[in-house]
Amino acid sequence: MNGMIDLLNVGIGVILTLLILHIGTFVFSKLTKFDDLKEIQNGNEAAGIYLGSKLIGLSIIMAMVSYSSHSWMAMIIWSVVGMLTLSLVYLLFDFLTPKFKVCDEIAKGNKAVAQLLRAVIIGTSIVLGTILM
């Protein structure tokens, strides 16, 4: 019976994770002036790095919360906080780099900007996830 409950929990976790990442993709895509998924489909690696790093960052936060709380509701709530925080990080990064607009550089395919933003996003996610543990 315990194995069945564990399997059910894994199933719930996978479904919740995919749902949260889908919502995260939608939220993060609203921050840019371009269509993230279309840019990725057209081969814009910078857009893929940007969106992928946001989803990795969100996954880090979800994993750390899940590990420490074992509550689906806590994972959902802190995932929303994670989405908001990562959105704020993007906006702050854009504000603190006045020599260029992050959104414009990613749309142009500037992988260097996308890589820098990835480091900031993942670093922030690790710190935030650790705080939430």
Strands (E), the chain: none
**How far is 106 from 44, CA to CA, in rounded Å?**
8
Q: What proportion of the chain, given as a percentage, has pLDDT over 70? A: 97
CB 34 within 8 A of CB 41: no
* The pLDDT of residue 118: 93
**How far is 133 from 128, CA to CA, in rounded Å?**
9
User: Global pTM?
Assistant: 0.82
The domain total for the chain is 1
**How far is 94 from 102, CA to CA, in rounded Å?**
5
Could you list the residue range(s) of the whole structural domain that residue 17 is in? 2-132
**Which of 57-61, 68-72, 128-132 has the lowest average pLDDT?**
68-72
How many other CB atoms are found less than 10 A from the CB of residue 71? 12
Task: Give the H or E element holding residue 61.
Answer: helix 45-69
**How far is 46 from 70, CA to CA, in rounded Å?**
35
What does the pLDDT look like over 17-68, one tens digit per residue? 899 989 988 888 888 888 888 999 999 999 999 999 989 998 998 888 888 8
